[in-house]
A = this chain, B = another copy of it.
């Protein structure tokens, strides 16, 4: 490709919208362009990266005999009602209506559609096992679209679905996809942690997430310092470090705590630690408000709360409801004296003594509050968000916290969808059987950005060779000198003829601008053709990753480039 015949529009300034490095660099390097909140155009360079990721995915899928097809984006509401997920998905789904008032979902995922396809086209055990996948646009009405491609309204996914006659086959497909995903992310140059994950609205009983490690990641991961246990904080079971209390029960007392609504403020004021407080949160379920207690230093994991309460929708109560329920304002709730409301609690408060709580009265807290003596709890659950220092459920060593970007997830779905949609087949004995499914997803657009988040420096992006928009840039320093541009053309043609993915920066621009663009965009290999070196028959080759330059004889150039590519891959 010749730069002047292509379209690259790098920016010197970072657009205000961008918060994290990868988002800034993809805008500046002209990989993406914002259309509106959560909607991005893939510029030509960005699309090249996506295509390379897709090609890797297709190769790894073919290695496991997964078969590509393509399903519609529009999905009739009726089939989501059949699976029972229409109500579950709630506000995350985008919808549209046709002129006859039929409702359609803009596919966020395709379990229903593939199951419908399979029930129409597969009816014999002879047709199994099958593992289908597609690469398609997906839609989610995010509460807060942000971080560029990380959390967008419209994004590109590879989603796959396996169908098996028995558990053994389903397990093999799950393992195959797990292995393929390990290969895919590794080939894309991503550092990945694989963690146990919640199955959420997908259903099923086993799931793993593929997390690209990154400080800016939206997901919190807990991993054991000793064994191989690692899980998404959404799911991670926690054994809080036991606090030893050796006190006698003291008399409950009211304390003036003016305007102290936060745990930290109250703890500081009373010269104690947050773990001596009990937080009281009022949640709203569709039926009723509910009070939830947790130790002051622990966060409620709303995912666990929903599961234990068997609720899809759960929100923190508004000020007015809190006033009605507790009699006091926000920030001063406590369990003592609460009436006509169910009280549930995290196991962390079971052994607390002489705790501090809100008083349900403005500007007052209670000290020396004790379970059973001063208040009752209807039921205890594990409701706390796991955190560093909690104890591993497998080996009792302390857990550590890291953060990650979820780029892939695999699920054992069992018969959830096949049963709901009556996707059955006849087995060898002519007996009707329900198919066993798995589903497997990779966020392709998010993967592209996750690679940038892991691979950049102050000058720009450092693409792995496998998915760089171009592997090599040929950079003539002075395009007005005929011998320079002729040599550059010759080298460009030679590399192209050897099937190397190369761009020739044939712009009449100053060297400084060309170097800056090349570093910002992040071409892995740079070949610089300068007057002085050329007089000695030398060409400068450098790697973006190390920034190390080397002078090579012109006749050795092609082999050098090939060697650099082989070394990385």
Contact = CB atoms under 8 A, between A and B. Distances in A.
Contacts of A229: none
Interface string A26-47: 0000100101100111111011
B69 A44 contact: yes
Interface in A75-91: 75-76, 91
A139 interface: yes
B137 A35 contact: no
Contact of A69 (B47, B69, B97, B122): B47
A50 interface: yes
Contacts of A116: 35
Interface string A130-170: 10100001010101000000000110000000000000000
A29 to B, nearest CB: 13
A96 interface: yes
Interface stretch (A3-11, A172-180, A191-199, A202-210): A3-11
A70 B50 contact: yes
A508 to B, nearest CB: 10
A47 B120 CA distance: 18
A310 interface: no
A127 B507 CA distance: 11
A330 interface: no
21 contacts: A6-B67, A7-B67, A7-B127, A7-B130, A33-B120, A35-B71, A35-B76, A35-B113, A35-B116, A36-B76, A39-B72, A41-B72, A41-B117, A42-B69, A42-B71, A44-B67, A46-B70, A73-B73, A74-B154, A91-B99, A137-B137
A72 B143 contact: no
A154 B73 contact: yes
A428 interface: no
A113 B41 CA distance: 9
Contacts of A287: none
A94 interface: yes
B98 A96 contact: no
Contacts of A69: 7, 41-44, 46-47
Interface string A210-244: 00000000000000000000000000000000000
Given A47-B68, A99-B143, 8 more contacts: A35-B113, A35-B116, A36-B102, A41-B70, A44-B68, A73-B137, A73-B154, A98-B141
A54 to B, nearest CB: 12
A145 to B, nearest CB: 9
Interface string A252-285: 0000000000000000000000000000000000
A73 to B, nearest CB: 6
Of the candidates A41, A95, A117, A120, the one having the most CB atoms from chain B within 10 angstroms of its own CB is A41
A123 B39 CA distance: 22
Contact of A153 (B41, B74, B130): B74
A539 interface: no
A514 B123 CA distance: 19
A37 to B, nearest CB: 8
Contacts of A528: none
A57 interface: no
A70 B41 CA distance: 6
Q: Which 6 A-B pairs have the closest CB atoms?
A: A42-B70, A9-B121, A39-B72, A96-B96, A36-B76, A41-B71
A30 B127 CA distance: 14
